[in-house]
Chain A
Amino acid sequence: MAFAAESAGPVLQCQSVERRFGGIVALNGIDMQIERGEIFGLVGPNGCGKTTLTNAITGFYPPQRGRILLNGRDITGLAPHYIATLGVARTFQNLALFNGMSVLDNILLGRHIHMKPGVARTALYWWLARPDETVNRAAVEDVIDFLQLEGVRDELVDGIPIGLKKRVELARALAAEPSFLILDEPMAGMNQEEKEYMARFILDARDERGVTVLLIEHHMDVITGICDRMLALNYGAMIGSGIPADVVADPRVVEAYIGGAHAAR
């Protein structure tokens, strides 16, 4: 990789992670290891557990069995906001921007874990908060520059097109300077050009900002194009993992995606 690793060892390890909702086994013994500086693809048909796995890692649905380690530290069962402070950032499949705020304020919120919000600081802004706000404002400008969002900086997020919204959400995630970034279908609903832009941003984020990426996608061209390794899920179980070109060619993966008749050929 193009950058120096902060510390040795994998960024994320999932060890036989299991999550049930009532009688439904959403995740069944997932073992996954993501190395530092990797772009790791996660694919599978709808409802196979991709988002559940994401929610297990970020603490929204802690696994009932198994362990999740971040940079070697056990984060199983920790609260989502605490996991965020440990350097995990994510974007959502169905956008989760804060409406009524500008693009700038949304990205500034991404800096939350680096700031010290408080009542006294707010009341005495001129003396206590201004330096902190200014430093973080500058850091946000870096991200705006990186993702080419200068033109919409002061727009309300409610009114910008979906392709840009996805980019703002990526910006908010990157603003936190995470070590591990989870992108949940960042290219859903995008055209070819927007997809190519987004793929470039993801590669650049890895190379320039040293982020390890877990990428959930349905576009196989993107997965084979930018991912180093990948994992395919079906009905909550792992059906293939390894180099994207091999996994995508695996008959079981093809069957899960487009049905048995094609797999037979």
Chain B
Amino acid sequence: MDLVSIQHPGGITEVSLDGRLNMVTAARVREAIHEAIVANSPNVAVDLSRTSFLDSSGLGALVWGFKAAREAGGDLRLVSPTEQVKLVLDLTNMNSTLRSFDSLDEAYPRG
């Protein structure tokens, strides 16, 4: 899995995950979210447009990130999840907690 963090104006960190988010990669994702919150701001967008697979360990990492962001006074929102990721969010009833948006702008509207 390739992981890229980009800091956008307005204090939003976009973390893009290219590949599978599972028990092998969950720890790295947690670290990246933690770093974004500590180094930049507590508003995190996780770009899942190239995340081919999400399992329960990966979902656990996102929940962990969501809680960390909220505690720091921010939020964690998902951007363009793939079909399989949507399936998992749907099955686990996590849609209302981990909210998905079609683009970064929709996740964190500027203005």
Task: Judge: A and B partners, yes or no.
Answer: no
Interface residues of A (CB under 8 A from B): none
- Contact surface of B with A, Cβ cutoff 8 Å: none
